[in-house]
Amino acid sequence: MEEDYVKVLSKAVERFSEILRDIMEKAHRILIMGHNDADGYSSMAIMALLVEKIFRKESIHWMSFDSPAELFRSLNNFNVKMYDSVIVVDFGSEDELRALFEILGERVFVIDHHVSYPEEYKEYVLNPRMLGVETDSFACSSTLSYSIAKLLGLSPKSMYAPSIVGAVGDVQYDYEDSETVVRALVGYNRLVLEELKSHGLVVEEIAPNVYGKYQQTVREAINKYGLCSKLFSDIVPERYSMKSWHDLKVDEKASIIMKIIERISRMDLVKKEVLSELFIYDYIFPYEKFAHFHEAKEFSTLINNLVRLNLGKGARSLALSILKYKHLREDLSILRQVEQYLKEANKKKREYYKRAKEHATQLVINDVKVLTFMDTSESPMPPSVTGSVTNFLMSVDRGLRDIYVVGTYERKRDILKISIRISSEDLIKGTIGEIIKEIAREMGGEGGGHKFAAGCEFTGLRDEKNAKKVFYDVIYKILSI
C-alpha cells in the first residue's frame, strides 16, 4: 500500500516539475513564501537554490509566516503583483491560497503536505493529500522540493542538508524541546533518504534509546531521561559509560543491541511498538564539519530556534543561508553568529519556562486536574513555543496532573495559540488531536494533533479579555466531551 503511494507520488512529482519549469522560464521577479519552521525554511532554501542556480534568476525575494491568517493579512499589505511568480512551500490553507491564485492566476506554484488547498487550482498544487495520502509525515515539503529540484537539474550534493533537516523537523514537530525520540523517516521521505544514503551524503544511525541522543553518554542520558535509560543502562558496560554511542566501535555497538533484544525477548516484549520506542534513528551528514550541522535533529532544532522565537529578520536570514550554502556552514564567523543567536534563544526560552512555572494555576473540572497557564503579559511568548512550554510544565510536574494547557495571546498579530498535553489516554473519550480539531473548528479556529499532544489557534479575537475567554472555553469543552 505504502509503496503504491510512493509510486503515484513520484509520477506526480515528474508532472509538477514540468509545470514549474514552464512557470520559471517566463518569470523574472520571483517570490518564495514558506512556513516559519524547519520544513518551511528547508523547502524555501531548496527552491531558492533551484531558481538561482538552474533558472539563473537574479530577482528572488522570500518571506515566511507562522499562520495562514498572517499570510492573508500580508496579501492586503503588500503588492504581490510586483512578482511574476510566487512559489509557496509548506503552507496549507484553502482560502489564503485561493486569494493568492486569484491575484496571480497560473503563476503560483505550491508544494505542501497539509490538509487543505484550493481544489480548483490543483494543477498547480503538489500535495500528497490529493493522491489520498493522509499523514503529514509521509512526504514533507522538503523531500518533495528535493525531488522537483533534482528533476530540474540541481545536484543532490548541493541540497542534501535541507532535504533531510526539513523532514526530520516535521517528524519531531511540536516536540521540539521534548526528549521525545525522532522516529524513522518513512514513505516518500524514506525514498529520498535512501537516495541520499546511496550517494554517501547521509548516514543513518540506529542507536538504542538508552542513549537518548547518539552524541551523549549513557551517564548523561540517565540524568536527563529516566525510564528507558534506567531500565537498560546496566546493559552498557561500565567501561563505556563515559563514551557516547557515536564513540563506540561497530562490535561494541552490536553487542549492546544484542543484549537489549535478549532482555526484551526474555520479558516477552518483542513487539513492533516496543521496538520503536527502544531505538532512535539519527541522520548524520558526514561532510559537515561543525557539530551544529553534523546531525539532522540538531540542525533542525537549530533552525526552529532561529525562526520561531521572534529573534528578528537577521536570525531568519541566517537560517535560510546556512540551509542553502554548504560553504557558510564551514565559516567560523557564521558559526559564531549561530552560537550568539542560540544563546539568545535559550535565554528567551528559559524566561518563558520560568514565567509559566511561576504563574501556572490548577483547575479541577469533573475531578480532572488541569494545570493551566495563559500568557497575557506585555511581551507574551510567541505562539510557536507554547508546545515546548507545555512539555516543560508537564515534566517539572512529573505528569502528576491530568491535563496541561498553555496559551498565549499576541496582540500585534491578534493570534491566540493554545497547546494541550494529556498524561493518560483514558482521561477523555477519543484522541485529543481529533477532539481539538472539532472544538477549534466549531469555535472558528484551527486545530489538530496526536494522541497525547494537540494545539489550536484563533484569530480575530481583538483583545486579551476575549482571548482569555476562548482559552477557558476550550478547556471546558475538552472536559465536557
> What's the CA gap between 382 and 408, in Å, rounded?
7
Could you tell me the smallest distance in angstroms from the CB atom of residue 39 to Mn ion?
3
DSSP per-residue letters across 223-285? HHT-HHHHHHGGGS-GGGTTSBGGGS-HHHHHHHHHHHHHHHHHTT---HHHHHHHEEEEEE-
Please give the distance of CA 264 from its chain centroid, rounded to a whole number: 32
Residue span 133-152 as binding mask against Mn ion, x where in contact by CB under 5 A, dash where not:
--------x-----------
Please report, to the nearest 10 degrees, the dihedral formed by the alpha carbons of residues 161, 167, 169, 174 taken in order.
180
Q: Pick the piece of the chain touching Mn ion (CB under 5 A) from 37-45, 186-194, 262-270, 382-390.
A: 37-45
Rama region for 38: left / alpha / beta (φ>0; ψ in -120 to 50; rest): alpha
Measured from the CB atom, is 90 or 402 closer to Mn ion? Answer: 90
For CA atoms 99, 100, 106, 110, the dihedral sign is negative
Could you tell me the smallest distance in angstroms from the CB atom of residue 93 to Mn ion?
13
Q: Is 174 in the site for Mn ion (CB under 5 A)?
A: no
Measured from the CB atom, is 208 or 387 closer to Mn ion? Answer: 387
Measured from the CB atom, is 137 or 276 closer to Mn ion? Answer: 137
For CA atoms 194, 196, 200, 203, the dihedral sign is negative
Size of the site for Mn ion (CB under 5 A): 4
Could you tell me the smallest distance in angstroms from the CB atom of residue 78 to Mn ion?
24
Q: Pick the piece of the chain touching Mn ion (CB under 5 A) from 169-177, 179-187, 272-280, 338-346.
A: 169-177
Measured from the CB atom, is 115 or 222 closer to Mn ion? Answer: 115
What grid cell was written down for 473? 472555553
Measured from the CB atom, is 162 or 380 closer to Mn ion? Answer: 162
Q: Is 170 in the site for Mn ion (CB under 5 A)?
A: yes
Could you tell me the smallest distance in angstroms from the CB atom of residue 364 to Mn ion?
37
Measured from the CB atom, is 166 or 212 closer to Mn ion? Answer: 166
Nearest partner of 173 among 427, 419, 470, 430, judged by Cα: 419
DSSP per-residue letters across 469-481? HHHHHHHHHHHH-
Measured from the CB atom, is 17 or 141 closer to Mn ion? Answer: 141
Please give the distance of CA 354 from its chain centroid, rounded to a whole number: 24
Nearest partner of 25 among 61, 55, 58, judged by Cα: 55
Residue 86 phi/psi, 5° resolution?
-125, 125
Measured from the CB atom, is 175 or 287 closer to Mn ion? Answer: 175
SS3 assignment, position 422: strand
Could you tell me the smallest distance in angstroms from the CB atom of residue 77 to Mn ion?
25
What grid cell was written down for 441? 473548528
Could you tell me the smallest distance in angstroms from the CB atom of residue 141 to Mn ion?
5
Q: Is 90 in the site for Mn ion (CB under 5 A)?
A: yes
Measured from the CB atom, is 170 or 414 closer to Mn ion? Answer: 170
Pure H helices in 52-175: 68-77, 94-104, 141-151, 160-171
Q: Pick the piece of the chain touching Mn ion (CB under 5 A) from 26-34, 165-173, 226-234, 436-444.
A: 165-173
Could you tell me the smallest distance in angstroms from the CB atom of residue 353 to Mn ion?
26
Measured from the CB atom, is 96 or 170 closer to Mn ion? Answer: 170
Nearest partner of 291 among 280, 305, 302, 281, judged by Cα: 302
Q: Pick the piece of the chain touching Mn ion (CB under 5 A) from 167-175, 178-186, 207-215, 219-227.
A: 167-175
CB closest to Mn ion, residue no? 39
Q: Which residues inside 320-349 make contact with Mn ion, applying CB under 5 A?
A: none
Q: Which residues inside 233-272 make contact with Mn ion, applying CB under 5 A?
A: none
CB 388 within 8 A of CB 177: yes
Q: DSSP character for 310?
A: -
SS3 assignment, position 65: strand
Could you tell me the smallest distance in angstroms from the CB atom of residue 307 to Mn ion?
13
* Among 6, 17, 24, 39, contact with Mn ion (rule: CB under 5 A): 39
Q: DSSP character for 153?
A: T
CB 185 within 8 A of CB 193: yes
Q: Pick the piece of the chain touching Mn ion (CB under 5 A) from 34-42, 392-400, 401-409, 456-464.
A: 34-42
Could you tell me the smallest distance in angstroms from the CB atom of residue 291 to Mn ion?
25
**How many residues are listed for the chain in this entry?**
481
> What's the CA gap between 207 and 297, in Å, rounded?
14
Could you tell me the smallest distance in angstroms from the CB atom of residue 136 to Mn ion?
7
Could you tell me the smallest distance in angstroms from the CB atom of residue 284 to Mn ion?
22
Measured from the CB atom, is 171 or 475 closer to Mn ion? Answer: 171
Contact residues for Mn ion, defined by CB under 5 A: 39, 90, 141, 170
